[in-house]
Amino acid sequence: MTYEHKKYLKKCKREKAIVLVSQILILVIFLSLWEILSKYNVINPFIFSSPSKVILTIYNLFLNYDLIGHILTTLYETLIAFFLGITLSFIIAIILYEFKILNKIIDPYLTMLNSLPKVALGPLIIIIVGASANSIIVMALLINLIVGIMSIYNGFNNIDKDLIKLFKTFNASRLDILFKLTIPASYKTIISSLKLNISMTLIGVIMGEFLVSKSGLGYLIIYGTQVFNLDMVMSGIVILIIISFVLYKMITSIEKKLLK
């Protein structure tokens, strides 16, 4: 190993350490300020709660409100909608990429559907699918599907045209170009779509739970609002942030393995 290589590795480790320490410091400062401002009534403790109250409330939820069951319900709905969404997005994006005329036909409709507030379809979804977890999954699917299709398709469409010409020069078939060039060259775009989709799916699930669910973190948040237990509301939000972070880290670990 050369001196320059060792120096580069040290620089990378130092940058990672700085990023990690900075992230931890920001979190500690934020939580400390939140606790102090709430304790001395600079912010309304009834509305904004405090870290100590949130921890105590989470403990009470764990003991008395089957918190693990609510978390598992939300995770189940999120993962089902996420995997359905990313699978359908991938397949539809491939179809649109291979058949350009079809993309030109439905592109304005995709744009309109993407701009439509999906929560407005909530009552209709509940009537069609039923007041169950299925309607929550459908709502989350509607939210992540269009975004996934458009982002993956754009990734396919940004492949270097010269590379495609080179493949055609060697008599590569459309399937060869698709599976040996287009998809591998779009890994970063696909991973970015996964990161976006997991957050969009979680948003869709919580929106669905607000409307119809009798379990899940969305249900806990709306129930806390109804009984004016804002500590419960804030605790549900904190748990959602933690879940979102864990899911994001899972996607990041998949990204590292794929890019290798």
Residue 234: the pLDDT is: 92
Residue 259: the pLDDT is: 66
3-state SS class at 159: coil
Residue 24: the pLDDT is: 92
Residue 239: the pLDDT is: 93
Beta-carbon count within 10 A of 230 CB: 18
- Cα 46 to Cα 69, 75, 120, 205, 219: the distances in Å are 27, 29, 31, 27, 20
Which segments of the chain have a pLDDT < 50? Answer: none
Residue 194: the pLDDT is: 86
Residue 114: the pLDDT is: 79
Is the CB of residue 244 less than 8 Å from the CB of residue 156? Answer: no
Backbone angles phi, psi at 130, to 5 degrees: 110, 155
- Please name the residue that has the structure tokens 């304005």: 108
DSSP state at residue 228 = T
Beta-carbon count within 10 A of 243 CB: 16
Q: Could you give the CA distance from residue 248 to residue 211 in angstroms, rounded to a whole number? A: 26
Pick from 80, 199, 184: nearest CA to 134: 80
